[in-house]
Structure 1
């Protein structure tokens, strides 16, 4: 059995002032298995709205929560925000949580179980397996995600079903020892391929829910990010 005292939760945020309190409420409500404590690391990627004020207000009203806030002086991208958060993480394990409401923190324990039971170093939450609820949205996004996962699996020799998922749980020291370069959405294939090459790594996957957003709701990823992901798969999978 693996004893974990603290989980670091990294939240990259960009213009999420109107909803970030909702995701923080969900994180607050979660009781982690084995009395694991939560460290919440919010990295504001130079938001143009009231994200900073919203976080400050929430932190002042919820002093019992361990919330740490960092802000980039200019917009760098999601990957860069994650780099900042990873460097600051002090928990034995780290999970990535988007600031929107597409993923449910109530499922943290599902990702933690393979680790706590002594089986895993890394756990991915898959939107394409299991019986949990999934919002029906974009056909071509689904095809694109599956295709990118297929390409990533080819070069990493993994059999993941959802490489592009937000929910990735890592052993923090392993993650901090990887040199990450991608500043934007290329983070997903880069970290997957580089983690797969870590000696004796144990990677697991569990099914999760997905409450997807439309572009009207604020979804930010687009086709250019898919092209970049292909480039990153080739770059880190074949040439590095």
Structure 2
């Protein structure tokens, strides 16, 4: 029976300068605390002798072929023998000799215990100003907005977790965005999460870090947006749709004066564009959420399931066809009006108030009709399984 309580996991790619001191601190901590544990090095292709250093200091080493920070950690978590895992970089920027707070929280039943460098202290030269004052605060703030999380430091590299709970999340990302994925999925799956102060020190390496500021920052932001179809697609879509409907409804009857500003058919044209884009974004939001749930990267959304179960393909076809028909009738009326002039010159201020809403209705009707078919493709599997 495996009775190892704690695995201290370190991803490693050419960390020969600092690996020994990190392993020694971690081993000494577990010995002094009376914890039965192991130090596990997830090596990602080191060529500087890091593997030999790890083995010579009684650490266990696994070789991870797939490249990337996240890839190394995913394989390391799978290979860990401990019930709990505390992960941290092997560059001596985190103090592995002081992990009591993490272990206590894990024993108290927390599934994920995050370090917070901004609460614990960032020593001089430990973090570039761009990361300290812009990158990390901005991305953490966006993460809290997009997801109901109280975590203030999404990207702290020192964190502890219950191995089984984290494995159940089926983490996928191979790069630095793995840090965000763990927090986001833990939040979405309602794991028990807390945050404790952690000190960040300058790393002990003479070479530059693996982190690429703008590239990895974009990967974090991209991940946060892709995991939130609601904020990426749905909310912008609703805003555009409502703004477009309001603008089109008002300006279809005549120009609108607001002080010295006159809104007329040119604004009406942009209003119809907002309707079309808004409808498309809403369809994107629904399909992205259904797809994400179906392949297991997003948890089930009960509210969306109720709506999509009640809103059948036929409903979408009927509403879409109705809008399309109204648009066609409006277009026919516009042509007949043109015919009354002998198909000569038209008054744009009059005729475009008919043509623009008609075109918007045709486009939106077609989007809704074919979007309903597209959404139904994602429901085929569920329908088959239920029969």
TM-score range, shorter chain: 0.7 to 0.9
Superimposed CA distance per residue, residues 126-181 of structure 1 (whole angstroms, 9 cap, x where no aligned partner)? 00114x56234421111200111111111221121111001111111111111111
Which moved further from structure 2: 142-151 or 118-127?
Answer: 118-127
Once superposed, what is the RMSD of the aligned Cα atoms? Answer: 2.2
Q: What corresponds to 2:56 in structure 1?
A: 57
For the pair shown, the structure with the greater C-alpha radius of gyration is 2
Matched, 1:207 2:197: yes
Distance 1:34 1:14, change over 3 A: closer
Q: Size of the alignment, in residue pairs?
A: 226
Residue in 1 aligned with 2:13? Answer: 14
User: What residue is the counterpart of 2:124 in the other structure?
Assistant: 135
User: Shift of residue 34 of structure 1?
Assistant: 6.6
TM-score (norm 1): 0.86
Which of 155, 164, 177 does residue 164 from structure 1 map onto? 155
SS of match in other structure, 1:105: coil
- 1 CA distance for matches of 2:137 and 2:211? 16
Q: Which has the higher helix share?
A: 2
- The higher-RCO structure (CA 8 Å, 6+ apart) is 1
Give the strand-richer structure, 1 or 2. 1
Indicate yes or no: 2:63 matched with 1:71: yes
Q: Distance in 2 between matches of 1:119 and 1:172?
A: 12
Whole-angstrom distance in 2 between the partners of 1:138 and 1:50 = 28
Write out aligned runs for 1:80-229 (5 A): 80-116=71-107, 118=108, 120-130=110-120, 132=121, 134-136=123-125, 137-142=127-132, 143-199=134-190, 201-213=191-203, 216-222=206-212, 223-229=214-220
Is the aligned partner of 1:24 residue 2:23?
Answer: yes
CA deviation after TM superposition for structure 1 residue 106, in Å: 2.3
Deviates more, 1:93-102 or 1:205-214: 205-214
Measured against aligned partners, the alpha-carbon deviations of 1:25-61 in whole angstroms (never above 9, x if no partner) come to 11122147873222211111011221122223223xx
Q: CA deviation at 1:215?
A: 8.3
> C-alpha displacement at 1:22, in angstroms?
1.0
Contact kept, 8 Å, 1:124 with 1:204, in 2: the verdict is yes
